[in-house]
Amino acid sequence: MDPILRTQIIHFVCFIAVLLILPTLSESNQFCEAGSGRGDYECGVASSSLRKILIKGGTVVNAHHQEVADVYVEDGIIVAVKPNIRVGDDDVTVIDATGKFVMPGGVDPHTHLAMDFMGTRTIDDFFSGQAAALAGGTTMHIDFVIPVNGSLSAGYEAYVEKAKLSCMDYGFHMAVTKWDEIVAREMEIMVKEKGINSFKFFLAYKGALMISDELLLDGLKKCKSLGALAMVHAENGDAVFEGQKRMIELGITGPEGHALSRPPLLEGEGTARAIRLAGFVNTPLYIVHVMSIDAMEEIARARKAGQRVVGEPVVSGLVLDDSGLWDPDFVTAAKFVMSPPIRASGHGKALQAALSAGVLQLVGTDHCVFNSTQKAMGIDDFRKIPNGVNGIEERMHLVWDTLVESGQISVTDYVRLTSTECARIFNMYPRKGAILVGSDADIIILNPNSSFEISASSHHSRLDTNVFEGRRGKGKVEVTIAGGRIVWENDKLKVVPGSGKYIERPPYNYLFDGIDKAEGNYLNSLRAPVKRYKATT
């Protein structure tokens, strides 16, 4: 063949090959760009494929025990946890964890990714939010599905579509915003067919998500019959609405008006009411984002009386106070707006003490982020500022620095509060929340002698601000392994859109143990109905 002709044929074949490859490359880049945050990470790289991993010489920490041991992972599952593991296979990635803690990845019980709220949508989707989580040592989260026009099924389908970008494992809670026979039937479908075992009821956001006490009672009864956990956003929504009007009448339109309009006593009242109604129905209750002493004391009182109530503080409420809301710069002040509000100094310390004493059981984030442009929707009226702050990337570091470094909790308590208890409450343990043979290989390696610094310029969320800006501390997650993949190492993320799995969660967690006996005791205690004789004439 003529050399010139052969060269032309080769060029032509190469050109056709490039054309065939381009769509794939383009789609991959679009995936990355759609989810990219402000930090550095690679997307869809081969190095994120499943590996055999041997973690050597670290202190393996579970909620019940810690020991110096090796951890061996194959095909995304932990297959051995013991000292001096030897593996003959050359195709093994070895990580030296000497002097470091090897712990189950964090499980965040409370997030809002790609959520439509207050006329806009949260800036983090299921890729960018999860990428941020992985950089911070969280390997599983449970997000809240918001119904579409009250329909649970339509809401579920919308979130299935949103979650196609996921790069780590996730589950769903389901919000209930209206009540009729269709919703009741849909709740059964969610539990029996979709792997959802928790339903949230809002006692705030009047005119939007808020429900009545009548609806709450219907929902509590249905949750009990299905073995699903009822969750409550506990504030008095009617009183909050009145408080907002009062602030506007007083000319207080800035972010500080948000906190002033919904003081701790309204959170305490909502918490007390929800607890008493759950006690009336005799079903377990989970109080989300406990932000105040008022709410915490109601939970403590109920638990002391034997009621099955779980209290979830969030990291912003533990480590921040409300001073930022009075900052003269609107952008700075508005970034702290969330509900219930971040409270005055003293509440956070009390919540920390409640965690260490077992009054509160686990730590979430309520990661629900809007950028400064979105927050500016309420520049002349705090009621229009989209509610929410960040935390999905910062939680593990801040809980370690705040509670472990200060000596308030032990390392095993840390694992319980950030991972294991959530896995137990939502029926994922020991698949999640443990470094045990057969558990998913969701693992972090934390160096207690390393330090961290938080900044919007380096975090991995798409958010342009950070409520923890400039905070420094000790204890850094140096390696994150999710589903058997090394996704965070050497301050670099290697994440794959679509690699996350939806985790179905069965009903009837441990909080339901003995409920039937309690029900029987209650019925026996009634001493009724009384047999009476009708009077004769």
pLDDT tens for each residue of 121-154: 999 999 999 999 999 999 999 999 999 999 999 9
Q: Where are the alpha helices (DSSP H) in 108-263?
A: 128-135, 152-162, 181-193, 213-226, 237-249, 256-261
For residues 46-63, average pLDDT: 83
Does the pLDDT of residue 81 top 90, yes or no?
Answer: yes
| In the predicted structure, residue 230 carries a pLDDT above the cut 90 | yes
**295 contact partners, CB below 8 Å, separation of at least 6:** 234, 264, 267, 268, 270, 271, 287, 311, 340
Count of beta carbons in the 10 Å neighbourhood of residue 321: 16
Write out pLDDT tens, residues 473-503: 999 999 999 999 999 999 999 998 999 999 9
Looking at the predicted structure, is the pLDDT value of residue 249 above 50?
yes
Looking at 256-309, list the stretches that DSSP marks H as alpha helix, in order from N- to C-terminal side: 256-261, 264-281, 293-304
pLDDT band at 533 (very low <50, low <70, confident <90, very high): confident
Residue whose C-alpha is closest to residue 175's, from 130, 205, 138 = 205
CA distances from 223 to 217, 302, 360 (A): 10, 19, 22
Do 174 and 197 touch, CB atoms closer than 8 A? no
Flag whether pLDDT at 155 surpasses 80: yes
Is the distance from CB of 439 to CB of 75 less than 8 angstroms?
no
At 44 the pLDDT is: 53
How far apart, in whole angstroms, are the C-alpha atoms of residue 58 and residue 435?
12
> Is the pLDDT assigned to residue 330 strictly greater than 60?
yes
Q: Does residue 47 surpass a pLDDT of 60? A: no
- What values do phi and psi take at 222, rounded to 5? -70, -40
The answer to whether residues 337 and 258 touch, using CB atoms and an 8 Å cutoff, is: yes
- Count CB atoms within 10 A of the CB of residue 192: 12
Q: Considering the chain, what is the average pLDDT of its residues?
A: 92
C-alpha closest to that of 422 among 146, 229, 177:
229
Cα separation, 537 vs 524, in Å, equals 34
pLDDT one-digit tens code per residue, 361-379: 999 999 999 999 999 999 9
Task: Report the alpha-carbon distance of residue 310 to residue 300 in Å, rounded.
Answer: 10
CA distances from 90 to 49, 54, 86, 87, 486 (A): 16, 11, 11, 8, 18
Cα distance between residue 105 and residue 434, in whole Å: 8
* Residues facing residue 242 across a β-bridge: none
pTM of the model: 0.91
Average pLDDT over residues 168-191: 98
Lowest-confidence range among 5-9, 297-301, 407-411?
A: 5-9
For residue 18, is pLDDT > 50?
Answer: no
Average pLDDT (294-321) is: 98
Q: Is the pLDDT of residue 5 over 90?
A: no
Burial category of 249 from C-beta neighbours within 10 Å (exposed 0-12, middle 13-18, buried 19 and up): exposed
Pairwise CA distance, residues 312 & 320, whole Å: 16
Share of residues in the chain with pLDDT > 70 (%): 90
